[in-house]
Amino acid sequence: MATAVILAGGYGKRLRPLTSKTPKPLLKVGPKPILIWQIELMRHYGVGKFVLCVGYKKEKVKEAVGDGSSLGVQVSYAEEEEPLGTGGAIRNAGDFIRDEEYFFVLNGDILTNIDPRPLAKRVLEEGCQAAIALERLPSPYGVVKVDEGWLVREFVEKPTLPYWINAGIYCFRPSILELLPDKGDVERTTLPLLAEQGRLVAVAYEDVYWRSIDTHKDLEEAQKEVGRLEEALRD
């Protein structure tokens, strides 16, 4: 049974005043909180055990999710007394995951229909230490195409950008725990180190739904896109 660690301890400062009383993972998108969408999606893809890394208003998260039985999964909690960053939070969850063959990690503020199984497949088949999900984003603006003489040829409304971004979903072997900081972000510490050593692979996802809930506008847009998540859970 696969395990997923969800990083759900942040303050969500850019979403205040909504997060003044409610932790960001419990903000609702459509009929359910972000965190429940994440658990249900990962369960859909065979994940049965979860470790929630909680800090800010952690009692509310524990009250909402409990032991996971109401969602058909097993849930444990790795609690932070102070913010540890994403890397420190995963390290703090070490007792729950160090005996796993591999485990997934998700940022607690993303909504997506990404299938995490290809990440595990690459880790297991290629013997690498970690795999990262990559995604393309649409431009927030329309673009104008011109020719060599700066004659306007075409207007393109919000095209997909030609760059890959970190989608905030990973698959790690437990040996990564030794490389994680006690306090700090995995994106700024361990992942660059693994990339430098050639021990980090990527899985590119195209034509998937992905949104990070960082601002009020993100939350508003996500409310319009609930159908994409519901569709993923029906497939």
Residue 203: CB atoms within 10 Å:
22
Confidence of residue 224 (pLDDT cuts 50, 70, 90): confident
pLDDT at 227 over 90: no
Q: Above 90 in pLDDT, residue 137?
A: no
Q: Which residue has the higher pLDDT, 187 or 139?
A: 187
Q: Is 158 a catalytic residue?
A: yes
Q: What are 153's two structure tokens?
A: 């040829």
For residue 234, pLDDT over 80 is answered with no
Q: Does residue 96 lie within any of the structural domains?
A: yes
Query: Does 150 map to a domain?
Result: no
pLDDT exceeds 80 at position 12: no
Predicted pLDDT of residue 235: 67
The model carries a pTM of 0.90
Q: Quick one: pLDDT band at residue 80, thresholds 50, 70, 90?
A: very high
Note whether residue 149 is domain-resident: no
Q: Is residue 124 included in any domain, yes or no?
A: yes
Quick check: 183 pLDDT over 80?
yes
The torsion of the CA quartet 135, 158, 25, 15, rounded to 10 degrees, works out to 140
Residues 214, 177: Cα–Cα separation, whole Å: 27
Total number of domains in the chain: 1
In the predicted structure, residue 191 carries a pLDDT above the cut 70: yes
> Is 153 among the domain residues?
no
CATH number, domain containing residue 190 = 3.90.550.10
Question: Does residue 144 lie within any of the structural domains?
Answer: no
Separation of alpha carbons 192 and 188, rounded Å? 6
Query: What is the structure's pLDDT at 203?
Result: 96
Candidates 168, 167, 90, 171; CA nearest to 126 is 171
Q: What CA–CA distance (Å, rounded) separates 8 from 1?
A: 22
Could you list the residue range(s) of the whole structural domain that residue 62 is in?
2-133+166-234
For position 10, what pLDDT does the model report?
A: 83
Percentage of the chain exceeding pLDDT 90: 66
pLDDT of residue 149: 86
Q: How far apart are CA 163 and CA 49, in angstroms?
A: 33
Q: What is the mean pLDDT of residues 153-167?
A: 88
Q: Mean pLDDT across the chain, nearest whole number?
A: 91
Out of 21, 158, 217, 224, which one is annotated catalytic?
A: 158
